[in-house]
Amino acid sequence: MDTADASERKGTPQASIIIPTYNGGDYLVDCIRAVLSNTGGAFELIVVDDCSTDGTAQVVEDLFRDSGVLKVVHCPVRRGHGAACEIGIGNARGQLLILLDNDTEVQEGWLDQLLRVARTYPDAGAIQAKLLWHKDRARIQHGGGQLNLLGSTAARSHMSYDHLSENDAEEIFFAAGAAMLTYRNVILQCGGFDSEFTILDDADLGWRMHLRGYRVFVANDSRVLHHGSKTIASTDYLAAKLSRTTYEHLGMVIKNRSLSSLLKILPALVLLRISYVLLLIARRLPRLALASLAGLARALREFRQIWEKHQLVQSRIRRQTDEELTYCIKRLYPSLILWAAVKIARRTYLILFDDHAQTKLCIRTFSESALQKLWRMHPSLAQFTRDSYYSQQSIALMERDA
């Protein structure tokens, strides 16, 4: 480590870079090396060790002791990603907060581009770097989060090729917590990360930022490599993820929707979750079906706590009505109808006919035909449907390997 570089980074930090980790190992070491090599100015680096069992904390302390910026915070008990982020923020000194997953590697100029967008859009509550696949750096892993009426999320530009954009930044619904810049005052105003959330904690926070009146952007020229799904490990990753996603999805929608709009969409939301359970049973995946039911059961069991959060969001955080937020999600309405119709048709046929190749071909032909018609009507809507499709394909591949 260069002594001049280390001394330059000391003093009051311009930014606090927070990296939650659980058994991060070599991924975390590469992440820290990339930050130290590609980040200028005064900053502090906070690693939040969420009770790792592989000696992660000791390894990074030994390797980067002389960096002059590293601080390792130890969680007394395993809490999850959202809680680890909150602990990191509580230990940060900077007003500018940057969240990184421990399986990311920032590229040259990443922070400068984020700050440039921040100066351009003073009403931004959060700004995300463009996440590229580490294994295929020409493709985008996450270009910003989108949300539909039922609270389902999709990664914008997922699997698209990275290219030079005409715009420095584009508006999104939420910033992925894997590489996100935000501000201490925004976090305080929006209630921070939900400590009970591990998977949808970033989408939940982004939703509350919009309710508070902030906008969210992706900086197209800020690039960060991402392995994906390495930050929080699990002995039974897929089942645990499905159970958590079900619980967090329902909890997020109940918290952030107003009562009137919640009553309109809740029946459809429950039906969608039940149809997914039936599909898992039809695919002979009872373990995953039970995991999904466990998530539903937890949401019911903890409904009182979720409703208390709902009341807090509606009374203290919300400054915009759901109708005023339609500028963020109104373009998803036709896409949602088409996407839901395709999913319901596909699931119904799979439940009835299971592995019949002809049925699957029929469903795929119908999906592609509908998508082509939508593309001619409105390309951006088709892009969201395509992103949702690839997200479902990723889940299907994980189910196959389960």
CB atoms within 10 A of CB 314: 15
Strands (DSSP E) contained in 166-214 are: 169-172, 179-183
pLDDT at 230: 57
d(CA 78, CA 295): 19
d(CA 104, CA 21): 11
pLDDT at 277: 87
**Strand-pair partners of 224:** 106, 131
Q: Which amino acid is at 236?
A: D
pLDDT along the chain (402 residues), means of 10: 49 88 90 94 93 88 90 90 94 96 95 96 97 89 86 77 78 95 97 94 96 96 86 61 92 95 86 82 84 94 97 96 74 50 56 50 49 45 45 44 44
Global pTM reads 0.81
Q: Which string of b and e fits 367-390 if b means at least 16 CB within 10 Å?
A: beebbeebeeeeeebbbbbbbbbe
pLDDT at 7: 46
Q: What is the DSSP string of 141-166?
A: EES-EEE-TT--EEETTTTPBP---S
Chain centroid, CA 25 distance in Å = 22
What the chain holds in terms of domains, given with CATH numbers, is: 12-226 (3.90.550.10), 239-401 (no CATH)
d(CA 133, CA 12): 34
Strands (DSSP E) contained in 75-213 are: 96-100, 104-106, 124-133, 140-142, 145-147, 153-155, 169-172, 179-183
d(CA 373, CA 381): 11
